[in-house]
Amino acid sequence: MSSLNSTTPSQPPSFLLLGIPGLEKEQFWIAFPFCIMYAIAVLGNIILLIVIKTESSLHEPMYLFLAMLAFTDLVLSTSMLPKMLAIFWWGSGEIGFVSCLVQLFFVHNFSAVESGVLMAMALDRYFAICYPLRHSSILSMPVVTALGSLVLLRGVLLVAPGCFLLHRKDFCQHRVISHSYCEHMAVVKLVCEDTRVNAAYGIFVALALTVFDITVIVVSYTMILRVVLRLSSSDTQHKAFNTCVSHVCVILAFYVPVLFTSLTHRFGHSIPQHIHILVAHLYMVVPPTLNPIIYGVRTKQLKDKIVVLFQKGI
């Protein structure tokens, strides 16, 4: 029996999610704006998916990538918001060990997918502005499908090993997670064994994804800027810039909280924990809330189709 115990990882049946340590009394009221944002995110992204699916004129690379982004936002926000609201309103913080790992996988995988889709959208804008005559042939339907599949596969292949490593570890009796959802490093801190491999792998994945995707985005928009500034007509320049503004706003809404959370988690030890956790929540709910609003308001073709859809009663 002792031999069996020595080779079998010791795992707790469940963890206890605290929510936001230091703001336990305020959590009940904090939940209301998060609930409103979640409702807007779900409704807005579902409308985007319906419009893009039903309107054949929107079956273009830009809108297909936007549909991928809307689906990703739905999965990402739904993977943690309902549980978070249950913690804030009813104190229902207990989550099973396997359920915690599943939530961890979905949160980190679809965060990676969102980053990859934003990168693909930057490439789409690059080809649309720099090579307008070849845009449709370069980003054909099979290519768009392949890019979306590769982005999803990349997230799975990078995030799954981290979950597998955690599943093989021995956990201490302490099972309280000072967070509102199962975040990788928050779970790693409960492991009794050496966690340097887990921590190093988590940093590697975060850096590999962020550095690669941001580099592609920055290079794409640098090339776009060079081409646009060479255009002779100011009206043409304005139209070219206008097609990119929505995407730039979406990129900033996602990457600013992500970078803040990632950097403060490792280096900003002087920042209060509740600030760190609140910002971590924001990048999970703000982009899914803002993305359909930004694209729905700023993209005329999409806005017109949404108005027609509402006039038909969806």
Distance in angstroms (rounded) separating the CA atoms of residues 182 and 15:
9
Residue 95: its H or E element = strand 94-96
11: burial class by Cβ within 10 Å (0-12, 13-18, 19+)?
A: middle
Q: How confident is the model at residue 2 (pLDDT cuts 50, 70, 90)?
A: very low
Q: Is the per-residue pLDDT at 1 higher than 60?
A: no
From 278, 313, 269, select the one nearest 21 (Cα to Cα).
278
- Mean pLDDT (whole number) for 143-156: 96
Domain boundaries, the chain: 14-312
CATH number of 14-312, picked from 1.10.540.10, 1.10.730.10, 1.20.1070.10, 3.50.50.60: 1.20.1070.10
The more confidently predicted of residues 294 and 307 is 294
Full-model pTM: 0.91
- Mean pLDDT (whole number) for 297-303: 80
Q: Is the per-residue pLDDT at 13 higher than 70?
A: yes
